[in-house]
Amino acid sequence: MRLLAVFAIAGLIFAGVWLDYRSQMAQVGSGGRGALSTETSPVASTDPASELSGYRADLGHLPDAPLLGFVEIPEGPFLMGSDPGIDTLAYDVERWSAGQPQGTVDVPAFFISRNEVTVAQFGAFVRATGHAADPQALAGPPLHPASFVSWPDALAYCRWLEGLLRQSPATPPELRALFADGWHVTLPTEAQWEKAARGDDGRIFPWGNQLRRDRANFATGTPAPVGELACPECPYGLSDMSGNVWEWTRSPWQPYPYDEADDREGLEGDALWVMRGGSFSDPVRNVRAAIRGAAGPDVRREFIGFRVVITRD
């Protein structure tokens, strides 16, 4: 009888501990101390952005627009880098080479999202995958640019979005055809980004050579909803290529002249990846179309976000 009581008490203690363990694990999601786990964000099971009008909840809150907000950038050469003779605010790192201020780069056609990736869009990805994201990345208003996103976070989002668009019957036929032809979703290269921002005429800002405060959110100290400042004068009508948040690219930080072929060289130093466009906290000098910034891939900051491209290479 006494033995039975001992087993009963031990059983009760074990059951209590086990219930406690289960409830703790439920709170931290799939986290733990395993080799691949990092801290996870507390993800609500319901989508707080499900009622956003003008966006497709079934397609990861991409815009309910032709090609889901992707804009085609045609194939062709453009002028990359800065000529200090024209752009007096240019930094040295924007110079093409010792003897040449700018260079011409031929960029194949690609599609780029009109707006930066939003909190709602990034949240849809985190909810769908359980990706370990910084909780601050999901804390902003749904239409603000997703920030506190590392470079691997951004790439993980691209992979997920490609999978979603490949599988969903709601994906527009034009995009489905691209995927069937081997195109994929990723971050833009530095060259793709700059061409999409300034076109092929070498302008200083996406809208022209003169500063305009109604076209970009910069030096304000706070991010704005994506696309709030439309840019009809921009060569491809993209929003926030200047300011709002810096945007990750898939180009490693290397001195000009730009050459995609050497991206897998120089792997022995610390990693730095190019980001473009400046942010809400930057002065005018940092929101020019040719501005080049760089950050470690693990960096998660309020002023760094990203946008995506659909590209063949």
Residue ranges in contact with other proteins by CB under 8 A: 6, 13-14, 17-18, 21, 24, 32-36, 150-152, 155-156, 159, 186, 250, 252, 263-264, 266-271, 273, 296-298
Tell me the pairing of strands 273-276 and 70-73: unpaired
Nearer to other proteins, 131 or 215 (CB): 131
**Which residues, 6+ apart, have CB-to-CB distance to 167 below 8 Å?**
none
Cβ 263 to other proteins, closest distance in Å?
7
Could you identify the residue written with the tokens 């694990």? 25
Nearer to other proteins, 24 or 46 (CB): 24
At 58, which amino acid appears?
D
Rounded to an integer, what is the distance from CA 312 to the centroid of its chain? 18
Cβ 266 to other proteins, closest distance in Å?
7
Cβ 82 to other proteins, closest distance in Å?
26
The residues pairing with 243 across neighbouring beta strands, listed in sequence order, are 217
Cβ 195 to other proteins, closest distance in Å?
20
Could you identify the residue written with the tokens 């880098």? 81
CA–CA gap between residue 257 and residue 103 (Å, rounded): 7
124, containing H or E segment: helix 119-129
Nearer to other proteins, 155 or 245 (CB): 155
Nearer to other proteins, 10 or 86 (CB): 10
Nearer to other proteins, 214 or 268 (CB): 268
Cβ 132 to other proteins, closest distance in Å?
10
Cβ 270 to other proteins, closest distance in Å?
5
Task: Phi first, then psi: give them for residue 294, nearest 5 degrees.
Answer: -150, 150
Nearer to other proteins, 150 or 239 (CB): 150
HEC per residue, 43-103 = CCCCCCCCCCCCEEHHHCCEECCHHHHEEEECCEEEEECCCCCCCCCCCHHHCCECCECCE
Nearer to other proteins, 153 or 282 (CB): 153
Tell me if 229 sits within 8 A of 143, measured CB to CB: no
Give helix 151-167 / helix 173-180 axis angle, nearest 10°. Answer: 110
Nearer to other proteins, 36 or 98 (CB): 36
Find, among 251, 232, 240, 263, the residue nearest to 187 by Cα: 251
Cβ 208 to other proteins, closest distance in Å?
33
CA–CA gap between residue 124 and residue 69 (Å, rounded): 17
Cβ 12 to other proteins, closest distance in Å?
12
**Which residues, 6+ apart, have CB-to-CB distance to 6 below 8 Å?**
none
